[in-house]
Each structure stands twice: as C-alpha cells, then as structure tokens.
Amino acid sequence: MVSKEVTVNNSVGLHARPATFFIQRANTFKSSIWVEKDERRVNAKSLLGVLSLGIVKGTAITIIADGSDENDAVDTLVGIIESNFTE
C-alpha cells in the first residue's frame, strides 16, 4: 500500500470536470485507489464518492493505492492534481 498527501490548488477544486478527468485516470489502474480527506475515505474510481468529499481549492487530500501498479497510480494521480488537471 502506497499513499501520498497533496493539496488541491486549482480554482474549482475537485469538482465536475476535474473530478471526471481524475476518475477516468484512476480507472486505468488495476490497483484499488482511495481518496481520503479528514479521515473520510472514498473510492477514487467513484464520481459520487469523490464529489461527496467536497474538495475545494486549498484542501489537503491523501491518495492511497493498493495493488500491482500502486506506485504508478499514486504518482500519476498526484501529478494530475499538482498540474491543476492540465495533463
């Protein structure tokens, strides 16, 4: 299991289009992936789950992955967030 904390800095947070892009990328990995905010953990491959966290600009979240491609999954998803979803 691999995890990394990252701060969401794009203007709308992880909402609508950015969340959809994030989830589409998460679904390309075999590993189980979660997003955690304030000790609440949701499936990173679920749009409703991710949106339910209410992630706004400046929110620190943790990306957690467990599986055969866990390192690539965490690195890719953290990279997407750090690039403000411009990948």
Would you list the domain boundaries of the chain? 2-82
Choosing among 3.40.50.10330, 3.30.70.580, 3.30.1340.10, 2.60.40.10, the CATH entry for 2-82 is 3.30.1340.10
Over the chain, what is the mean pLDDT?
95
Q: What SS3 state is found at 12?
A: coil
Give the integer Cα–Cα distance in Å for 56 and 46: 18
Respond yes or no: is residue 15 known to be catalytic: yes
Specify the pLDDT at position 87.
52
Q: What mean pLDDT is predicted for residues 60-87?
A: 94
Q: Which of 15, 47, 57, 62 is catalytic?
A: 15
Specify the pLDDT at position 15.
86
Give the integer Cα–Cα distance in Å for 39 and 85: 24
Specify the pLDDT at position 77.
97
Specify the pLDDT at position 86.
74
Q: What mean pLDDT is predicted for residues 73-81?
A: 97
**pLDDT exceeds 80 at position 35:** yes
Give the integer Cα–Cα distance in Å for 65 and 47: 17
pTM, two decimal places: 0.94
